[in-house]
A and B are shown apart, each in its own frame.
Chain A
Amino acid sequence: MRPILLKGGRVIDPARGLDLVADVLIVDGKIAGVGPGLGAPDGAETASVTGMVVAPGLIDVHVHLREPGREDAETVATGARAAAAGGFTAVCAMPNTDPVTDNQAAVGFIVKQAAAARAARVYPIGAISVGQRGEQLAEFGEMVGAGAVAVSDDGHPVVSSHLMRTALEYALSFGIPVAEHCEDPGLAGTGVMHAGIVSTRLGLRGIPAAAEEIMVARNVLLAELTGGHTHLCHISTRGSVDLIRWGKARGVNVTAETTPHHFSLTHEACEGYDTNAKMNPPLRTAADVEAVREGLRDGTLDMIATDHAPHHYEAKEREFDDAPFGVVGLETALGLALTELVDGGYLSLPQLIDRMSTMPARVFHLPGGTLQPGTVADLVVFDPASSWVVDPDRFLSKSRNTPFAGRTLRGKVVMTLVGGDRVHVAAT
């Protein structure tokens, strides 16, 4: 592999507090140097990236790649390519596949499919419980041995506080986070959107904010009890942000993520029964959106994750009650974050890279997240100035279920490199 010299970009590395115009040299798939006026070694390929941002590749700790089971909606390979197109160099695949990724062989299958894709890295997340049935712990040790980086029963909240306690305790031996979809299923019931004025008008069954907050509070308390690491997925409410802030102030090992749709949209997006705005947790109120943005700003919410949830188009082309929850996110996340959070004045560009790369790498103990010489050359190069219009027909994901079609977003991915390999280059 020829060395690559990226010349003259705005290099941002939040892990080292760097934000300067400089060159980045990549040799043998690793960062070899960062600094102004680097010379190109013999045989190096030089790319001028003036005006572009060069940053550690984005990392998404929460995606659904549907393989095995629903290859019509997404596969590991198409998901990894969609990720690369969105500037992600690594994603973590949730285990709610069919069959469930709840053993070392199933984890190994994801690893094998990911290697063949040659796009973004895909790290499997194993199930907390066998079959995600919430009864018996899955074999964390063997799954970690096969490549799992975390455990979660995402999509099926762990109802039993005893099971969650033992999961947090048992995970301590392997140093992995226990990621939880916070939802009290009894309270959420058969709800299909946020319980509020919009659900009242539309006559749709509501999911109250408390259904999430009760479980956030429980998990913070269980993490305190056990000393385990609870990672709370796709936080959507003001109350949850307050509870996490409270937990962190007490020194509890709690980390949390929120999604681009939860910081961009309110429940009003469900008007007209738009099934592309149906997701779980549901879109909330403007006050919740504000709290989520503030949580990202002050670090209460450590990172942005997409909860990329592809669905075949006909699954969404039906009555709101019967459509599945979920929205694709990999190819719009960076644009939404730049438009809503950076332009909106909530985050600086280095803070955004921190929430989308450095923090996910740190919290999930993944390679990357920095441009420190010697680390893997997982990078994204993007043009922060250019705007584009979301056109789902151009997605590399197999699915098109986005509520952002037609939205103008700022920030275009130019190039994504994984281990020094250009896995995505934007068409010019």
Chain B
Amino acid sequence: MTVLSLGKDLLGLEPLSPDQIRLILDTAEPFKEVSERPIKKVPALRGKTIVNLFFEASTRTRISFEFAEKRLSADTVNVAAQGSSVQKGENLVDTARNLEAMRIDMVVVRHPSSGAAKFLAERIRSNVVNGGDGMHEHPTQALLDMLTIRDRMGRLEGLKVCICGDVSHSRVARSNIWGLTKLGAEVAVCGPQTLIPGAVGDLGVTVFRRIEEAIEWADVLNVLRLQLERMKAGYIPSLREYYRVFGVTLERLEHAPRDILILHPGPMNRGVEIDSRVADGPHSVILDQVTNGVAVRMAVLYLLAGGRPELADAAKGTDRGGGA
């Protein structure tokens, strides 16, 4: 049997094989249970040092990674370097070299520039996890989306998933497109053409310009956050009109030919891209996504550290164990 691994880094889902993606999702399953225990800790990454290097504001992703690391018993440090490296006059190469000199084991990096995680990974020996790079990829978000869909629907293959909203500027959209298509889902995107990349069809996805058509088609809607800057930059005339024309509302969902699962990577703009009644309603799995985020990130960190997937169950079960 060949031993499947992720390699040194997790930079995106585009470079991964379907088997590698399934490996992460399957490894996440046993880790879910750790967070349900009174003592939420396993020793799998004991003695490992992880730096969460965030060049861009983040609450949920950073906290989720930090919980994942702590529940695996790693030692963690958070570095928040706000603003782009250029604005700060600091240099990503120097940051990388300094981290390397401190003999850390892993870096989780979020950065406003596409390609920054790869840039860092090519220059340090430590494992690098992409926590979101510019408009490129946000692999752990897509993985937790996929895990959540699989939990609810029992499968990914053959499902119709539509990503709604600002696809152009979204790393979540790109990672979802790669991950879902690799595991056999049909993927569409929906939004005003100003927020849909012209070449997106070449990635093998369908484009809907009207939300009603997307709802008619889909089993799952993954509703992206509409960055408020997009209005100022002229991509849409107003938030009010966006909600009226593209908003995922209860009225629109009532016309759906089937029950539709609703995901949102957060943070939500209630009353802009999504109706509160939908976000809080029975079809929403938005909070399940957050819960699954910790398990998926535990799986990624565990696998990158060299943990063997078949031991994940054992790793969580005992204080002596740990494939790491």
Contact = CB atoms under 8 A, between A and B. Distances in A.
Given A273-B114, A318-B92, A318-B93, A204 B135 contact: yes
Interface string B283-295: 0000000000000
Contact of B115 (A205, A206, A273, A314): A273
Contact of B202 (A197, A203, A321, A322): A197
A406 interface: no
Contacts of B46: none
B92 A203 contact: no
B14 interface: yes
Given A204-B114, A321-B114, A195 B119 contact: no
A320 interface: yes
Nearest to B198: A195
Given A195-B198, A201-B14, A204-B135, A273 B203 contact: no
**Size category of the binding interface on chain B:** 20 to 34
Interface in B192-211: 197-200, 202-203
B199 A196 contact: yes
Q: Most chain-B Cβ atoms within 10 A of its Cβ — which of A196, A201, A319? A: A319
A202 B199 contact: no
A348 interface: no
Interface in B158-202: 171, 174, 197-200, 202
Contact of A321 (B118, B134, B171, B203): B134
Interface in A254-286: 272-273
B296 interface: no
B119 A319 contact: yes
Given A273-B118, A318-B92, A203 B171 contact: yes
B199 A321 contact: no
A200 B115 contact: no
Interface string B99-116: 000000000000111111
A201 B174 contact: yes
Given A203-B136, A203-B171, A320 B113 contact: yes
A317 interface: yes
Given A197-B202, A272-B118, A273-B118, A203 B135 contact: yes
Interface in A182-203: 195-197, 199-203
Nearest to B170: A203
Contacts of A273: 114-115, 118-119
Given A318-B92, A319-B111, A202 B136 contact: yes
Interface stretch (B83-91, B221-229, B248-256, B307-315): B83-91
B137 interface: yes
Contacts of B136: 202-204
B134 to A, nearest CB: 5
Contacts of A197: 199, 202-203
Contacts of A320: 113-115
Contacts of B171: 203
Contacts of B116: 319
A200 B114 contact: no
Contacts of A322: 84-86, 113
Nearest to A205: B135
A322 B85 CA distance: 9
Contacts of A196: 198-199
B140 to A, nearest CB: 16
Contacts of A203: 114-115, 133-137, 171, 174
A27 B271 CA distance: 84
Contacts of B85: 318-319, 322
Interface in B46-70: none
A317 B137 CA distance: 21
A184 B91 CA distance: 31
A200 B199 contact: yes
Q: Which of A196, A206, A314, A321 has the most CB of B within 10 A?
A: A321
A321 B91 CA distance: 13
Q: Which of A203, A205, A320 has the most CB of B within 10 A?
A: A203
B119 A201 contact: no
A172 B92 CA distance: 50
Interface string A219-249: 0000000000000000000000000000000
Contacts of B174: 201, 203
Contacts of A205: 135
Contacts of A321: 84, 112-115, 134
A319 B120 CA distance: 9
A320 B137 CA distance: 15
A204 B133 CA distance: 10
A197 B203 CA distance: 8
A322 B119 CA distance: 12
Nearest to B134: A203
Given A317-B93, A319-B85, A319-B92, A202 B198 contact: no
Contacts of B86: 318, 322
Interface of A: 195-197, 199-206, 272-273, 314, 317-322
8 pairs of A and B residues whose beta carbons are closest in the complex: A203-B136, A273-B115, A203-B135, A319-B113, A203-B114, A321-B113, A197-B199, A200-B197
7 contacts: A196-B198, A319-B113, A319-B115, A320-B113, A321-B113, A321-B134, A322-B84
Given A195-B198, A318-B91, A320-B114, 6 more contacts: A201-B14, A201-B203, A204-B135, A318-B86, A318-B92, A319-B85
Interface of B: 14, 84-86, 91-93, 111-116, 118-119, 133-137, 171, 174, 197-200, 202-203
